[in-house]
Structure 1
Amino acid sequence: MSLSAVHGTLSSLKSCLEDLGTGMDIVTDVAMDLVETEAMSPGIKELEATILECARLDRDINYFVDTVQQVTAEVNAQQPEAMFGLSDKVKELFAQRIARLSDAELHNHGKVMAFKVSINSSSRRDSQEASEDMEELDEDIAVTQTQDNFTCPLTQVEMVNPVKNNKCHHHYDEGAILGLIRKRHSQKKKCRCPVVGCGNTDVKESDLIPDQILRRKIQNHKRRSKKLNTVDLN
């Protein structure tokens, strides 16, 4: 196997990680729907087990990709014949890393934490509040509030996948803030929170938690706006 083939496989795995993240968002959405319609649905536990299993798979794939990258980086500097032992070396190193992990760490996965926060927040609402919040808000008020609540401070457009900073509590679009963090780190610099006046000078990926409730509000706003525009055109 050539290194180019290995790199192609890693690219496919990274695409799988994106799909896995989308799947975890869907699991959270389904769980929130259940909470809003059935206060103590037994299905919530099953969905929690599902998202924990997804978190395990996400973790393991990330560790595997990192292991392969580490091993192939070492091979690049050696003789071509080192490729023959590449598979065994990856398996050995990956097994060592996985053996040191604990399932308790899965509860710290960003999307698992977002799942729990979303469920707890949804369960604290009664059915009337949830209905008013998600379906029966006046469209004109919703449109007025959108610019303040749903706009990413980096892109200045409506967020698609909002994440919340656990330190300063500001929201950003996930892709935009991750891009900024990685750019600053490549420059050997810390990433300052892009919200004007914020004193948080060191935004880290580990500080960011997906905000599924805000994401649902944005999606509902888009549906309401589309419906309103359709009515106006008619």
Structure 2
Amino acid sequence: MPGRSSIMPVISFNSVDSALSSLKTCQVSINTGIEVTTDVALALTEHEGGSEEVSNMEDLMLNYVSMDRELEQFIQAVDDVTNQIKQERPERMPDLKALVDKRFNELKNLNNFEDLLKSDKFIHFKGQLKEMKKQVGAEPHNESTSANELDEDIAVTQSQRNFICPITQREMECPVKNKVCGHSYEEEAIIKIIQNKHKQKKKARCPVVGCDNGDVNQNDLSADTTLRRAIENHKKYQMR
């Protein structure tokens, strides 16, 4: 029989896994905050809100992006420490909190403000604001009501084709934008295509005719809030 010293203790990480699950629910709350902040910033821009108000939304977005980054780093710190312990299999349970805090601080020390400005979520936010500013800037302000209505009709007709999903051929309700090629699709439709192709161990091509993007992944997709607002405004205009 093997000696007592050869029997390694079994360390349970159930509580750690439970804590990680709770932390990941916090990410949902942060993402909700990002979506709400984006909607408010776009609404302010659309209705020509003051630059200070929009700037406040940008600062708030940076705070959310910072929280998201630190939460990701804390989760990574926990993963790094638990993986290290599982590999080394120590004889007694180490001080997990101290080890995680040490690893978390190492990761945080690599942070800088410029990284926040270059993060995908903040760049996406600024891109949507830029698109909304273009839309607002293209609208006439000094013409008669009838001329405005005529221009509005033309603008709606020209942009309406962009509201149609290239997959379903119906007006989109939850559009997502592909950050690789810039095309937008109905979220459910494009995800279904990606999943079906991956089951066949194939790459999903962008369904837009003429697009050379031959490898569409879910990680490439992000909510196209600007387009969604344009579609909603178009529906309101039709009701009028």
Q: Is residue 2:27 matched to residue 1:17?
A: yes
Select between 46-55 and 206-215 the one with higher mean Cα deviation.
206-215
Letter in structure 2 aligned against 1:76? K
2-structure distance, mates of 1:109, 1:210: 16
Once the two structures are superposed, residues 176-224 of structure 1 have per-residue CA deviations (whole angstroms, 9 ceiling, x without a partner) of: 7679879989999866435465322344677545422012234556778
The structure 2 residue matched to 1:151, chosen from 136, 160, 165, is: 165
C-alpha distance in 1, partners of 2:130/2:218?
A: 23
1:164 counterpart SS class: strand
Please state if 1:193 is matched with 2:203: no
Matched, 1:87 2:128: no
* Residues 39 and 123 in structure 1, CA contact (< 8 A), matched pair in contact too: no
Larger RCO of the pair (alpha carbons < 8 Å, separation 6+)? 1
Find the aligned partners of 2:193 and 2:100 in 1 and give their Cα distance. 31
Shift of the 172–115 alpha-carbon distance from structure 1 to 2, 3 Å rule, reads same
> Identity of paired residues, percent?
34
Mean alpha-carbon deviation: is it higher for 52-61 or for 214-223?
214-223
Does the 8 A contact of 1:151 with 1:159 survive in 2?
Answer: no
Tell me which amino acid in the other structure corresponds to 2:182.
H
Q: Normalising by the residue count of structure 2, what TM-score does the alignment of the two structures yield?
A: 0.68
CA gap of 1:101–1:152, structure 2 versus 1, over 3 A, is: farther
Question: 1:122, CA displacement in angstroms?
Answer: 2.3
In structure 2, the gaps of 5 or more residues are: 1-10, 142-147
Distance 1:172 1:4 in 2: 40
Indicate whether 1:51 and 2:61 are aligned: yes
Determine if contact 1:25/1:111 at 8 Å carries over to the other structure.
Answer: no
Post-superposition Cα deviations, 1:96-122, rounded to whole Å, max 9, x if no partner, equal 111112211112223322321222222
Q: 1:169 aligns with which of 161, 171, 182?
A: 182
Q: Residue 229 of structure 2 is aligned with which of 211, 216, 231?
A: 216
Alpha carbons of structure 1 residues 128 and 97: separation in structure 2 relative to 1, 3 Å: same
Contact kept in structure 1, 2:206 and 2:215, CA below 8 Å: yes
Is the alpha carbon distance of 1:42 and 1:126 closer, same or farther for their aligned partners in structure 2, counting shifts above 3 Å? same
Q: Counterparts of 1:171 and 1:32 in 2: how far apart (Å)?
A: 18
Relative to structure 1, the CA distance from residue 157 to residue 41 in structure 2 (aligned partners, 3 Å threshold; closer, same or farther) is: closer
Equivalent pairs counted in the alignment come to 220
Q: Which runs of 5+ in 1 are unaligned?
A: 229-234
In the alignment, what sits opposite 2:5?
A: none
CA shift, 1:65, in A, is 1.1
Higher-Rg structure is: 2
The alignment status of 1:40 with 2:53, answered yes or no, reads no
- Corresponding letter in the other structure for 1:212: T
Partner of 1:105: 115
Cα RMSD after superposing both structures: 4.2
- Change in Cα spacing, 1:36 to 1:158, as seen in structure 2 (3 Å) is closer
Structure 1 residues 200 and 68 mapped into 2: Cα distance closer, same or farther (>3 Å)? same
- Following TM superposition, by how much is the alpha carbon of 1:6 offset from its aligned partner in structure 2, in angstroms? 1.1
Change (3 A) 1:4 1:189: farther
SS in 1 for 2:28: helix
Distance 1:91 1:82, change over 3 A: farther
